């Protein structure tokens, strides 16, 4: 059996959480380090993301994941 790919990065930018992706498959993309990343708005990798390392979660587990605030991630 093939192991599911894990999402290693999520974008916690508050403005990206209110955007509805044009294509439901676009929230998953590759992070600059080559690992899977998820932006809820499905914005391109060039967007102003604020990445948070998840430690590896499945897409299904994102519904139960406690998303940190921008302040928690940026240290502001």
Average confidence (pLDDT) over 62-67: 87
56 Rama sector, left if φ>0, alpha if ψ -120 to 50, beta otherwise: left
Q: What rounded mean pLDDT belongs to the chain? A: 85
Average confidence (pLDDT) over 36-42: 90
For residue 2, pLDDT over 60 is answered with: no
Average confidence (pLDDT) over 52-66: 90
DSSP letters spanning the chain? -PPPPPEEEEE--GGGGSPPPSSTTTTEEE-TTSSEEE-TT---TTS---EEEEEEE-TGGGGTS-PPPHHHHH--
Bridge partners, residue 60, by sequence: none
Identify the pLDDT of residue 20: 84
């Amino acid at each position: 059996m093939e192991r599911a790919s894990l999402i290693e990065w999520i974008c916690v930018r508050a403005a990206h959480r209110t955007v509805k992706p044009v294509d439901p498959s676009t929230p998953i993309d590759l992070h600059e380090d080559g690992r899977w990343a998820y932006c809820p708005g499905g914005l391109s990798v060039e967007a102003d993301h604020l990445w948070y390392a998840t430690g590896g979660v499945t897409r299904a587990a994102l519904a139960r994941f406690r998303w940190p605030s921008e302040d928690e991630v940026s240290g502001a």
